[in-house]
Amino acid sequence: MTRPIFIPLAVLGALLGVAAAGSSSALVTAPRPTIDVPATANREVAVLAGGCFWGVEGVYRHVKGVIDVSSGYSGGSASTARYEATSSGTTGHAESVRVVFDPTKVSYGEILQIYFSVVADPTLKDRQGPDSGTQYRSALFPTTPAQAKVARAYIAQLSSARVFNRPIVTTIEPFKGFYPAEREHQNFMARNPSYPYIVINDRPKVEALRRQFPANWRG
């Protein structure tokens, strides 16, 4: 399978000395302490979608406190949870990642701060980078009522502060289940570090994580 080669807006902007149109020129502010919730266990699951799952998975594999990450599909039914079907954009699925994390080491709020800072441009509707369609939408699938509360409050905080130059269109959707993707999509970035799509579109996200979140970085 191939994907088109594309220079992300953030990278192009850096080369031209300007900020990307929809993104903040600096680290996205963290959730207010009143938004995040204290840990009640040592294992929690977050499900997020932000374009091609290769890059999203690749970023969270380098976050301290993350126990496991897998690529898959969320938003549709089990019967259509396949790459070919999801790629049609008619299944309701988004290419998603399931992040299992230790909330005593990294909170859900921090997971979202990383998401909005380096994973996805939340101002783009039904597309990220070179990929377009509902399957590449920016979406959060809270797995608990507490996560849904944090997600809503944090998006409201970022919107009120006008952190981005355009409105945030990231959706908060009911969690209907997560369906792992085919084997060839799992840990794709680590297994294919020289793949052109990875080099151009996804490696800069990992570098941004390392640079902007040194306290959360795991090499």
Span 187-205, pLDDT tens digits: 999 999 999 999 999 999 9
- Residue 178 domain-assigned (yes or no): yes
Q: Which of 43, 154, 141, 147 is nearest to 96 (CA)?
A: 141
* pLDDT bucket at 8, cuts 50 / 70 / 90: very low
DSSP strand E in 35-159: where?
A: 44-50, 66-74, 94-101, 127-128, 131-132, 138-140
What is the reported pLDDT for 157? 96
What is the reported pLDDT for 35? 85
What residue has token string 């939340």? 122
- Residue 156 domain-assigned (yes or no): yes
Residues 47 and 174: their CA atoms lie apart, in Å, by: 11
- Quote the number of domains for the chain: 1
- Residue 31 domain-assigned (yes or no): no
Claim: this prediction has a pTM higher than 0.85: yes
- Residue 4 domain-assigned (yes or no): no
Give the residue-averaged pLDDT of 77-87. Answer: 96
Give the residue-averaged pLDDT of 57-61. Answer: 98
What is the reported pLDDT for 26? 57
| Enclosing domain of residue 57 | 39-212
- Residue 25 domain-assigned (yes or no): no
- Residue 219 domain-assigned (yes or no): no
What is the reported pLDDT for 3? 54
- Residue 9 domain-assigned (yes or no): no
User: Which three-class secondary structure state does DSSP give residue 194?
Assistant: coil
- Residue 142 domain-assigned (yes or no): yes
Q: Looking at the annotation, which residues are catalytic? A: 52
Long-range contacts of 22-26 (CB under 8 A, 24+ apart): 22/121, 22/122, 22/123, 22/124, 22/164, 22/165, 22/166, 23/121, 23/123, 23/164, 23/165, 24/117, 24/163, 24/164
Q: Using alpha carbons only, how large is the chain's radius of gyration in Å?
A: 16
Q: Check which CATH number belongs to the domain holding 204 and give it.
A: 3.30.1060.10
Span 138-187, pLDDT tens digits: 999 999 999 999 999 999 999 999 999 999 999 999 999 999 999 999 99
What is the reported pLDDT for 38? 78
Q: Which of 213, 143, 209, 203 is nearest to 172 (CA)?
A: 143
